[in-house]
């Protein structure tokens, strides 16, 4: 393939892909940074476009900005009102860009793209990146979201589940199994960090990476480590995003808040840490855990959602009940350095087997090709590979 990305040169079908996001903070932004540059390389400049909020352009990473993707923005004064401006942006860009695939990311984008009447013959792909009906809240709210997802499922050509857990939760609320394809997230491999971050201490070095929002459970970690101050050193990478008014974490002398860091800086922190803690209250996948496996960094995680799959129910890490800071405290207090060192080789092998970006990107392109063939009345090839969490093909019930 030439530098500009010529699909014909590799036998790849020509297609135009429009990615639609109502938020790119956190895992969704990482996902797109892995996916879009390679799509531009495969499909060519001018054939991949991204719509994102104008208030979140600071989250764009250099790899995305430099990829040659066309980026369009829309106003997002608030989460709800932003959907009106997103709808207008989509309608204008669709008529100009003329996509073959519209790939929506997260709930708001999924609602808008499926409610808009399709202008042209494009196919609609939707990825929730974690179901909103799994977010703790009132029973009525969760029931309404479940109903909306069930009804709108018929307006998508396929729904991408990022874990077997997410697939099964979708089927459980009544989404037809044939609509859902399971394609677990992946991240690109990278050479070992040459210079780990400076972290001069003999204490257990604990790293947290994620939003300082209720979902991610930073408060659970801090509650767990507060009595362990003489034995641990904690670094927290991130900042509040969704719950900016929800601040529930103490200022402890052995905890350092680093703010958001570039991915190379995060890799350096992982190279210096003894363990990553992922104390999420709910999680569709848990991409940061895969980034830790790639770095041979042992993980302690809440046993929720896709995290249990990534760690194979505790075979490649340590699990504790979600929200249980006492169990997390005991687990951290009892970790032996020898056991952590022995785990490092096995957990990287799990990453290489199941969670590379190349595998994820190949499966997404197979999905695109399958739905386009269906639209032309052709019989598509099966989109399936071995599931990382169960002995069944992706997308099967």
Supply the CATH classification number for the domain 7-188+356-375: 3.40.50.2000
pLDDT at 57: 85
Separation CA 357–CA 368 (nearest Å):
16
Nearest 5°: the CA angle 304, 308, 309 is 130
Q: What's the chain look like in SS3?
A: CCCCCCHHHHCCCCCCEEEEECCCCCHHHHHHHHHHHHHHHHHCCCCEEEEEEHHHHHHCCHHHHCCCCEEEEECCCCHHHHHHHHHHHHHHHHHHHCCCEEEEECHHHHHHHHHCCCCCCCEEEEECCCCHHHCCCCHHHHHHHHHHHHHHHHHCCEEEECCHHHHHHHHHCCCCHHHEEECCCCECCCCCCCCCCCCCCCCEEEEEECCCCHHHCHHHHHHHHHHHCCCEEEEEECCCCCCCCCCCCCCCCCEEEEECCCHHHHHHHHHHCCEEEECCCCCCCCHHHHHHHHCCCCEEEECCCCHHHHCHHHCCCEEECCCCHHHHHHHHHHCCHHHHHHHHHHHHHHHHHHCEHHHHHHHHHHHHHHHHHHHCCCCCCCCCCECCCCCCECCCC
Which residues in the chain show pLDDT less than 70?
1-13, 119-120, 243-249, 377-397
| pLDDT tens profile 311-343 | 998 889 999 999 999 999 999 999 988 889 889
- What is the model's pTM? 0.85
Res 247: pLDDT: 60
Enumerate long-range contacts of 334-337, CB under 8 Å, 24 or more apart. 335/204, 335/274, 335/275, 337/274
CATH superfamily of 204-354: Glycogen Phosphorylase B; (3.40.50.2000)
The per-residue pLDDT for 395 is 37
User: 237: how many CB neighbours lie within 10 A of its CB?
Assistant: 20
Q: What is the pLDDT of residue 205?
A: 97
* 90-148 confidence digits (pLDDT tens): 999 999 999 999 999 999 999 999 999 876 689 999 999 999 998 888 899 999 999 99
pLDDT of residue 136: 84
pLDDT for the residue numbered 222: 95
> Within 13 Å, how many C-alpha atoms sit on residue 65's CB side?
6
C-alpha to C-alpha distance for 3 and 9, rounded to whole angstroms = 11
Domain ranges in the chain? 7-188+356-375, 204-354
Same fold, 7-188+356-375 and 204-354: yes
């Amino acid at each position: 393939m030439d530098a500009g990305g010529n699909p014909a040169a590799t036998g790849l079908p020509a297609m135009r892909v429009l990615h639609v996001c109502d938020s790119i903070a956190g895992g969704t932004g990482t996902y797109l940074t892995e996916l879009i540059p390679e799509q531009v390389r495969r499909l060519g400049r001018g054939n991949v476009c991204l719509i994102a909020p104008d208030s979140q352009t600071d989250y764009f990473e250099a790899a995305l900005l430099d990829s040659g993707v066309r980026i369009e923005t829309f106003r997002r004064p608030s989460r709800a009102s932003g959907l009106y401006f997103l709808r207008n942006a989509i309608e204008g860009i669709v008529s100009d860009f003329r996509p073959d695939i519209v790939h929506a990311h997260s709930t708001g984008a999924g609602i808008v793209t499926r409610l808009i009447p399709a202008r042209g013959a494009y196919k609609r792909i939707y990825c929730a990146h974690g179901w909103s009906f799994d977010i703790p809240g009132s029973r009525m709210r969760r029931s309404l979201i479940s109903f909306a997802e069930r009804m709108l499922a018929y307006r998508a050509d396929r729904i991408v589940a990022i874990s077997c857990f997410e697939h099964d939760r979708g089927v459980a609320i009544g989404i037809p199994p044939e609509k859902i394809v399971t394609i677990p997230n992946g991240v690109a491999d990278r050479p070992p960090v040459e210079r780990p971050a400076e972290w001069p201490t003999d204490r257990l070095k604990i790293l947290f990476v994620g939003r300082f929002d209720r979902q991610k459970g930073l408060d659970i970690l801090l509650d767990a480590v507060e009595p362990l101050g003489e034995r641990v050193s904690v670094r927290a990478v991130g900042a509040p995003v969704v719950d900016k008014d929800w601040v529930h974490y103490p200022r402890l002398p052995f905890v350092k808040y680093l703010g958001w860091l570039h991915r190379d800086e995060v890799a350096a922190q992982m190279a210096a840490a003894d363990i990553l803690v992922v104390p999420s209250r709910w999680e569709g996948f848990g991409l940061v855990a895969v980034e830790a496996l790639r770095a041979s960094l042992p993980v302690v995680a809440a046993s929720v959602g896709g995290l249990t799959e990534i760690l194979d129910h505790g075979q490649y890490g340590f699990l504790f009940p979600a929200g249980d800071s006492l169990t997390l405290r005991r687990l951290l207090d009892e970790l032996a350095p020898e056991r952590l060192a022995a785990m490092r080789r096995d957990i990287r092998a799990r990453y290489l087997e199941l969670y590379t970006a190349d595998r994820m990107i190949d499966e997404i392109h197979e999905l695109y090709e399958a739905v386009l063939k269906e639209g032309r009345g052709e019989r598509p090839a099966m989109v399936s590979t071995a599931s990382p969490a169960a002995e069944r093909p992706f997308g099967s019930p």
